[in-house]
Structure 1
């Protein structure tokens, strides 16, 4: 039903991993925190993306707990990110737990503690979904509904350079009612030449776990709801997939899967008008998600 693969050292599509220390883009790989300038690894044109060339999707996590049986099997993974890794300040203890709380609910809990320096933190889960199944083609016929009446317009480098938060009403980004993903996809651009969604939405509500998105494939009857506690979500429609090998060796073409990446605002480290992503020593970053399936 879904497309999820283990990321490897040569993967550039981010099939399935947690990305960090800061997911999404940092303009010019540069930010200022407490008066000090930091430079992170540039790996996306002139910018940094998903934590750098060896971000959390490319490191080895340690299994801390694993329960295979019972009503709620789960696995917890741990990674210690060191001071200066990919240019980020301070040591960081990171955890992610995947848990099946019922046969049709997958919970993902991500948290991190800054140990000795303030640091930006923005984990995201980069799973691609195709509810029709392996080898079934694109997802343009899936209907999608988002709990988002606002979005952050992005420039050609996919950065919120204007710092503006705009209404989706009257734009191709409006998914407040169930709408086929492909209905207006040719009206939006992912970068200067590729059509498709790669845009950050501001989730309605004041925080806490709330419904973020709902998707359905009419052919199979499979449906997905996403609940999360983050302020924003990046919708990505697999615009750059190009005969990309994924789970079970299946090959995926353009629009072969879509991502619902709950997160903080893109490039918040360089936009004081956005909610802060800074975690200070002793503070804990918490990012919870729940994927609920029906048939």
Structure 2
């Protein structure tokens, strides 16, 4: 049996005032926690501020270890940052048009934090609160940590109380699983959690990811309007700049992707979603050709947001690194954005007594590389 690790933060504590709101009195401190495999060449750090992934250290083809997740050194930086590095975002990830929706004949008005829209659950969504650490096994064959958050009825304008659990776990050989379970207590409500990790397989702060190779198991996407709100169409990617049906460098079509300096920020409809409900399906493969590091992402959600950190501009991160535009990519498995306002999209509504389950697995690997 593995000894259960002490539930003490290994970094800075935050005061009650930083948490704010009705939940502050119940969750007074935030810190960092580590999970490490027996071999010692695979580990992650997480924080209960936003139930966020802080780091992931994995080997390359030569056995060199690197941290492949962008993030901050302190909890205070997570609390004050705007990039949602590694956070569990919700209660509804992505955007809700005009910060409103109608459910069972009642109109709900949310807090706006993206122009006229709501994004990632509002200005104080799940990525901006302190979670309770329920369990923490830091070493062994399958180390894990479980975070818990109780979301109140009316929080950020959403109806109904929720019990929310997020579990990070390592398994052999280099698998990171994230499991999200949510129970609706007293009212129907939309639920759509996502993990907002920024990945750079060459190592955080190592430059852009335009040469990373990407394959998406998604033959359709959901086009958006000028406010990044889905039009309601589910369109084929074939023949468009959104087609990653075969593995190609991320930057291949970057110059023709619309929007400011270019870059991707689009929801893809994962193939195979019309099969068994909540079945795990392949979502994407990513590989850095220089280091040989790669991962394959599997999940059970209908969509995945592909984002190339277009708005990441000179952000000071861990160990003095400065993160620039395209310095990472995000693959956020999710429900379709604004699903509450599009009846033709897969439903994101969870009713009292129902359990929302969102599972994902990042399966890291590496290939031997040789200097030219």
Q: TM-score range by the shorter chain?
A: over 0.9
1:197 aligns with 2:197: no
Q: Paired residue for 1:106, among 176, 179, 188?
A: 176
Q: Does 2:284 correspond to 1:213?
A: yes
Distance 1:288 1:39 in 2: 29
**Among candidates 63, 68, 80, match of residue 2 of structure 1:** 68
Which of the numbers 190, 214, 225 marks the counterpart of 2:296? 225
- Give the whole-Å Cα distance in 2 for the aligned partners of 1:275 and 1:25: 15
Q: Which of 118, 134, 145 is the equivalent residue of 2:204?
A: 134
CA change 1:186–1:124 in 2 (3 A) is same
- 1:268 aligns to what? 339
Find the aligned partners of 1:85 and 1:249 in 2 and give their Cα distance.
Answer: 36
Deviation sequence 1:118-137 (CA, Å, 0-9, x none): 00000000000000013310
Bigger drift between 130-139 and 195-204 goes to 130-139
From 195, 203, 220, the equivalent of 1:150 is 220
The corresponding residue for 1:97 is 167
CA RMSD, Structure 1 to Structure 2 (Å): 1.1
Q: 1:3 touches 1:247 (CA, 8 Å); kept in 2? A: no
Moved over 3 A (4+): none
TM-score by length of 1: 0.97
**Partner in structure 1 of residue 239 of structure 2:** 170
Are 2:253 and 1:180 aligned? no
Deviations 1:211-256 (A, max 9, x none): 1000101111111110000001000000000011233342100000
Whose Rg is larger?
2
* Counterparts in 2 of 1:95 and 1:248: CA distance versus 1, 3 Å: farther
Q: Measure how far apart 1:259 and its partner are.
A: 0.2
Give the corresponding residue for 1:253: 324
Unaligned runs of 5+ in 1: none
* Separation of aligned partners in 1, 2:319 and 2:223: 36
Cross-structure match for 2:369? none
1:166 CA drift (Å): 0.3
SS at match of 1:37: strand
Deviation at 1:103, TM superposition (A): 4.3
Higher relative contact order (CA 8 A, sep 6+): 1
SS at match of 2:79: coil
| Counterpart-to-counterpart distance in 1, 2:303 and 2:219 | 11
Question: Within 1, Cα distance between the matches of 2:160 and 2:192?
Answer: 15
Unaligned runs of 5+ in 2: 1-66, 367-372
